[in-house]
Structure 1
Amino acid sequence: MPSFSLLQLLSVLGILVSGVGCTLNSGQNGALVIRHGGTYSGHYESTDPDQPCIRIATTEPVVLDGCELRGPGRLIDATNGGARLTVRNCRGRGLLPAVDNRARGRFLEINDGVSLLAENNYLEHTAGLLVYRWQGDGTPQQTIVVRFNQARNIDGRFRNGSGAKVSFLQLNEVHGLTGIDISWNQVINEPNQSMVEDNINLHNSSGTPGRPLRVHHNYIQGAYPVPATAPRFTGSGITTDGDAASALTTTAYVEAYENSIVSTCNAAMNIAAGHHNYYHHNRIMHSGLLPDGTRLPASYAGMSIFNAYKKPTAVFFANRITDNTVGYVSWGRQSPFPDRHDLSTDACPACTGTQHLPNPVLWAQETRELANWQNHLLAQGFRVGPRQTAKAAVATYSNPQ
């Protein structure tokens, strides 16, 4: 029979605290600490940026289903290692920490995990998802799947200005893992309401030659400096990244296809590190404008392949970009049309088969791209975001044993 702390027992029994399902605020026991496998749901809130809403402290399989989470720190913390975690139908909202030089926490952070399935969640004003290192063997039960999620305003801003570089999803030091699938996620970042770097950042992470790391059918809108009219920015829609010194530990065997990338300053899709990374049949659209017609000066190029870390040819090689549809406005440049820079003129020798959208690329076209993607989603019988709403003012636990 599992043992519980008093706060956990209240959560299990669904007892109301402070008028919310189970409101767990700051202090030593500020998080719901899950020490046994099972299925959990309910409302959890923290006011302390150092206390997550839920902390996973077991290597037994845990399912979070229909949770409502709010807090300035991590909403779900699975950093102890060995987690076997499913997160589905959950809603998470990040709150601005009441201290300087501190960004909102991540919706989910998992370190040295064994399995992760994150699907049909909604996250707003969080620092996204981070997966750091991996223990799983790449079988369907021990890999990483992030799909059908809906994110709004990935947000690394500090309350006192500036901010942290955060992503909707970053994989960091996940090497040679089969079965990774990042698909059918909808990510929308609004100018001056968000601060995202690369929406999807693959840092020193890889699939395998026979089973690449797949990033496909995602809709990514928005990546801007703060303020959005600032002249410099280093973010993107999707980027392979990493400073690893060997072919075994750099980002490799990534296949990114049929993604829609809209209105991302600096770049839409970059291959900036690694080998055998392949981008194909993606749609990229960037009008270089805010909705009111103001120009975005921090726009550079739609796609590129460049050795950002100046690694030797034994580490950076065999990357390619083919058969993409691109219309990327970059003011004052001319590739292939005036005020365009679809393919970086100095960093895309292996970019072939590009279909260039005609000029002009308008903001109204960007708005239609979301509707087109959503129609495609529905045609496949899929939907993004939670499939059900968490039961109000109730926290439940069930042990599958």
Structure 2
Amino acid sequence: MSVFPSLRWLSWLLEGSCLLVPASQLAAPAELSALIIRRGGVYTGHYRSLDSMVPCVRIVTTEPVTLLGCRLEGAGTLIEATQGGAQLIIRDCRAYGLRPSLGDKRPGRFLEVNSARSVRIENNYLEQTGGIAIYLWGGNGSATQTLTVLRNVAKNIDGRHPDGGQTYSNFLGLNGVRGVANMEVAWNQVVNEPDKSLVEDNINFYNSSGTAASPARVHDNYVYGAFPYPATAAKYSGSGMTTDGDGASALTTTAYVEAYYNQFVATCAAMNIAAGHHNYFHHNRMVTSGLLPGGARLTANYAAAAIFNAYGQPKDVFFGNRFDHNTIGFVKPGRNHPYPDRHDLNSDSCTPCTNTTHLPNPVTLQTEQNEWNLWQQKLRRRGIRLGPPGLSRDSLALVTP
């Protein structure tokens, strides 16, 4: 019996049912396999789009929607919810970016959301996508209408175009997500391979904030790789994590972000506070050997940690930021901070960086590997399962030096 759905059945499916059939029964031709969700419910299935301009799944309802155990393959955006008011859970899904159908487009984002009321993204696998983009916020300020990103696995956040152009992407990019209580980004694993990815800031808070009583919590994430393309290029603006944004008031700038117990490895810059107030980065580990896995020199790396007023804002907009009790070993040939060929703390802009533990020289590829080992030990000790059930060992693996 054919597994291809009839056009009538598919039309009903696209209107939005409460529970869709398993992926094994949704092997529809590519032109039939994108999904538009118009009603709330729980959805599962295999959705595919070969068109950079057609999302695999498009959500056009404000009713609660759960995507559970889906397989998504797309040349463009994989999940789109940009009409406002979305209440969305994405759990145990596998997402694969395909080659863009247009030469001037990068691989599509795993998720693009605008003015959502609540978003929960947990235990998913993302490969060769443009990451997650959250614009603005439509929640009511309660702790339940929040953003949660937990236990996901991402491989190769990619902003490269088929025509040779580039659009930097983020694992998680927030823009104008302000005053959100109970926000949490935790236990995610992001691995970007040199010359197979193009990420800018793996995590970027742009004009986005928690609250004074409930700072946004970014903790216990493992991020490997923030490289230019090609990886040996001399210029690059990416990092592990950055607070960013041109907000000209204390209410509109990035604020109340607390990042702790994260590991940033092999990034050209590790953690920057470049905008905002009351951002606090502590007890993180930042390790870069200055070498690519094959031994070639990484030339675009600069400094592990920095606090700098990138947008030249007044003292009532940029203030109250600090680094404390971080462990750093960051190689930068020609620098001497605190040891020869090291640039652990930006020598021009890290005065409020206190109680730093500097790893001894030499910092090598093996030092980076040790960070991976520490991450694996932490996961076992805490009993954390990353990604969807049954994820292969290769999908969970690190690039080894």
TM-score, scaled relative to structure 1: 0.92
Residue correspondence of structure 1 range 251-270 to structure 2 within 5 A? 251-265=254-268, 267-270=269-272
Partner of 2:40: 37
Partner of 2:369: 367
SS of structure 1 residue aligned to 2:379: helix
Partner of 1:288: 290
- Is structure 2 residue 136 aligned with structure 1 residue 133? yes
- Superposed CA deviations along residues 70-126 of structure 1, whole A, max 9, x for unmatched, are 011110011111110000000000012132211111000111001111000000000
Q: Choose the corresponding residue for 2:238, options 229, 235, 240.
A: 235
For 2:151 and 2:22, locate their aligned partners in 1 and report how far apart those are by CA, in whole Å: 31
Following TM superposition, by how much is the alpha carbon of 1:53 offset from its aligned partner in structure 2, in angstroms?
0.6
Partner of 1:79: 82
Q: CA RMSD in A?
A: 1.9
Following TM superposition, by how much is the alpha carbon of 1:10 offset from its aligned partner in structure 2, in angstroms?
5.1
Following TM superposition, by how much is the alpha carbon of 1:7 offset from its aligned partner in structure 2, in angstroms?
2.4
SS of structure 1 residue aligned to 2:371: helix
Partner of 2:122: 119
> Contact (CA 8 Å) 1:22, 1:42: kept in 2 or not?
no
Give the 3 Å change call, closer, same or farther, for CA 300–322 of structure 1 in structure 2: same
- Superposed CA deviations along residues 316-341 of structure 1, whole A, max 9, x for unmatched, are 11110010000000111111111100
Q: Choose the corresponding residue for 2:212, options 209, 213, 232.
A: 209
Following TM superposition, by how much is the alpha carbon of 1:25 offset from its aligned partner in structure 2, in angstroms?
3.2
SS of structure 2 residue aligned to 1:321: strand
For 1:354 and 1:272, locate their aligned partners in 2 and report how far apart those are by CA, in whole Å: 19
Partner of 2:57: 54
Partner of 1:311: 313
The percentage of counterpart residues that share the same residue type is: 54
For 2:240 and 2:47, locate their aligned partners in 1 and report how far apart those are by CA, in whole Å: 31
For 1:249 and 1:6, locate their aligned partners in 2 and report how far apart those are by CA, in whole Å: 47
> Contact (CA 8 Å) 1:116, 1:145: kept in 2 or not?
yes
For 1:16 and 1:223, locate their aligned partners in 2 and report how far apart those are by CA, in whole Å: 36
Give the 3 Å change call, closer, same or farther, for CA 95–197 of structure 1 in structure 2: same
Partner of 1:23: 28
Residue correspondence of structure 1 range 141-290 to structure 2 within 5 A? 141-265=144-268, 267-290=269-292
TM-score, scaled relative to structure 2: 0.92
> Contact (CA 8 Å) 2:329, 2:359: kept in 1 or not?
yes
Give the 3 Å change call, closer, same or farther, for CA 377–311 of structure 1 in structure 2: same
For 1:188 and 1:304, locate their aligned partners in 2 and report how far apart those are by CA, in whole Å: 23
> Contact (CA 8 Å) 1:277, 1:319: kept in 2 or not?
yes
Following TM superposition, by how much is the alpha carbon of 1:8 offset from its aligned partner in structure 2, in angstroms?
4.3
- Is structure 2 residue 304 aligned with structure 1 residue 302? yes
Give the 3 Å change call, closer, same or farther, for CA 246–16 of structure 1 in structure 2: closer
For 1:57 and 1:251, locate their aligned partners in 2 and report how far apart those are by CA, in whole Å: 29
Larger mean CA deviation between 161-170 and 182-191 belongs to 161-170
Following TM superposition, by how much is the alpha carbon of 1:140 offset from its aligned partner in structure 2, in angstroms?
3.8
Following TM superposition, by how much is the alpha carbon of 1:31 offset from its aligned partner in structure 2, in angstroms?
2.9
For 1:133 and 1:219, locate their aligned partners in 2 and report how far apart those are by CA, in whole Å: 26
> Contact (CA 8 Å) 1:129, 1:170: kept in 2 or not?
yes
> Contact (CA 8 Å) 1:324, 1:355: kept in 2 or not?
yes
One-letter identity of the residue aligned with 2:304? G
Q: How many residues align?
A: 382
> Contact (CA 8 Å) 1:66, 1:388: kept in 2 or not?
no
Structure 2 residues without counterparts, runs of 5 or longer: 1-6, 392-401
SS of structure 2 residue aligned to 1:129: strand
SS of structure 2 residue aligned to 1:377: helix
Partner of 2:349: 347
Partner of 1:356: 358
Following TM superposition, by how much is the alpha carbon of 1:260 offset from its aligned partner in structure 2, in angstroms?
0.3
> Contact (CA 8 Å) 2:20, 2:42: kept in 1 or not?
no
For 2:354 and 2:241, locate their aligned partners in 1 and report how far apart those are by CA, in whole Å: 18
- Is structure 2 residue 90 aligned with structure 1 residue 93? no
One-letter identity of the residue aligned with 2:389? R
For 1:60 and 1:125, locate their aligned partners in 2 and report how far apart those are by CA, in whole Å: 30
Give the 3 Å change call, closer, same or farther, for CA 16–306 of structure 1 in structure 2: closer
Give the 3 Å change call, closer, same or farther, for CA 365–32 of structure 1 in structure 2: same
Q: Which has the higher contact order (CA 8 A, sep 6+)?
A: 1
Partner of 2:340: 338
For 1:244 and 1:78, locate their aligned partners in 2 and report how far apart those are by CA, in whole Å: 25
> Contact (CA 8 Å) 2:22, 2:45: kept in 1 or not?
no
> Contact (CA 8 Å) 2:52, 2:102: kept in 1 or not?
no
For 2:47 and 2:33, locate their aligned partners in 1 and report how far apart those are by CA, in whole Å: 10
Shift >4 Å, 4+ stretches = 10-17
Following TM superposition, by how much is the alpha carbon of 1:292 offset from its aligned partner in structure 2, in angstroms?
1.7
For 2:264 and 2:28, locate their aligned partners in 1 and report how far apart those are by CA, in whole Å: 38
One-letter identity of the residue aligned with 1:369? E
Following TM superposition, by how much is the alpha carbon of 1:214 offset from its aligned partner in structure 2, in angstroms?
0.8
> Contact (CA 8 Å) 2:22, 2:44: kept in 1 or not?
no
For 1:205 and 1:114, locate their aligned partners in 2 and report how far apart those are by CA, in whole Å: 15
